[in-house]
Chains A and B, each alone.
Chain A
Amino acid sequence: MEARFPGTLESLPLLHDAVARFCGGQAVRPDAAFKIDLALEEVFSNIVRHGYGDGRPHEITVRLERRRGRVRIQVDDDGRPFDPLLAPEADVAAPLDERRPGGLGIHLVRRLLDQIRYQRRPDGNRLILVKRLGAEERST
């Protein structure tokens, strides 16, 4: 599945629908589907919030592919160089007074998925995320 979305938060419901259709069609179980859905939303929102700043319209291309017991997710954007893996991660063990909302999204992505890689490309950024499927799913 490959789909292009306007680089705005208003695209999130459409992105969710596309992920749900892909996971349903590829027999990805609800647990993995939930994690892929959440990780993609976090990555997409991060790009919209931090990747632009020029006031011009942008697009984000999402590609989902199931192969060899894994779901591979590729997210391409045409924003400025932005590697979310370099951003400071939330301290999830900090007490309430010291908790800050920032950095929580990328922390969730790292923990919910199995791999995350960043590539800077001439025309933008690429994130590659991998979710390994359970043994039962791999045989389907």
Chain B
Amino acid sequence: MTIRESKTDSFALLGIGGRVDSLNAETLKGRLQEIGQREARILVDCTALEYIGSAGLGALLVLLKLVRKQGGTLRLFGLSPHIAEVFAIAGFDKLFAIFPDLESARQAAT
């Protein structure tokens, strides 16, 4: 699993890559909590995300709750078809704002 953080325009850009399983999901959750407490506008780049199970989904849920609580914005983009199917089964496609790529996520109306 890799976690990269950078800036683009007025957003924090967070890239999650590789495999997020039950072994490393706690590490991800810790990072997301820390980022969610300091950033109000976050884009999550999932283009390098190969795998995510329920533990990783739980970590993303924690981040979404944190961002919503402070009236912020969280957008995901670049989900592979496999990951998108997992999101849909989990009902996460109804909870998260999901976009095809960085440009569409960045330019979406707030």
- For residue B35, CB closer than 8 A to chain A, the reply is no
- For residue A127, CB closer than 8 A to chain B, the reply is no
CB distance from B108 to the nearest CB of A (A): 19
CB distance from B6 to the nearest CB of A (A): 27
Q: Residues 53-90 of chain B: 1 if any A CB is under 8 Å from the residue's CB, otherwise 0?
A: 11101100100110010000000000000100010011
User: Is B65 touching A41 in the complex (CB atoms < 8 A)?
Assistant: no
Q: When A and B form their complex, what is the total count of cross-chain residue pairs whose Cβ atoms lie within 8 Å? A: 64
- For residue B22, CB closer than 8 A to chain A, the reply is yes
CB distance from B26 to the nearest CB of A (A): 9
Q: Residues 1-37 of chain B: 1 if any A CB is under 8 Å from the residue's CB, otherwise 0?
A: 0000000000000000001011100000000000000
A 92-135 contacts with B by CB, 8 A? 92-94, 96, 99, 101, 104-105, 107-108, 111-112
- For residue A34, CB closer than 8 A to chain B, the reply is yes
What CA separation (Å) do A34 and B21 show in the bound complex?
A: 13
Chain B interface, >50% SS class: helix
What CA separation (Å) do A111 and B19 show in the bound complex?
A: 20
B residues less than 8 Å from A16 (CB atoms): 19, 21
Q: How many residues of A contact B (CB 8 A)?
A: 28
CB distance from A102 to the nearest CB of B (A): 9
Q: How many residues of B contact A (CB 8 A)?
A: 21
- For residue A31, CB closer than 8 A to chain B, the reply is yes
User: Is A34 touching B51 in the complex (CB atoms < 8 A)?
Assistant: yes
Q: Which residues of B contact A (CB under 8 A)?
A: 19, 21-23, 51, 53-55, 57-58, 61, 64-65, 68, 82, 86, 89-91, 94-95
Q: Which residues of A contact B (CB under 8 A)?
A: 9-10, 12-13, 16, 30-31, 34, 37-38, 41-42, 45, 48-49, 90, 92-94, 96, 99, 101, 104-105, 107-108, 111-112
Ordered by A's residue number, 8 sampled pairs between the chains whose C-beta atoms are within 8 Å are A16-B19, A37-B51, A41-B22, A42-B53, A45-B22, A48-B22, A105-B55, A107-B54
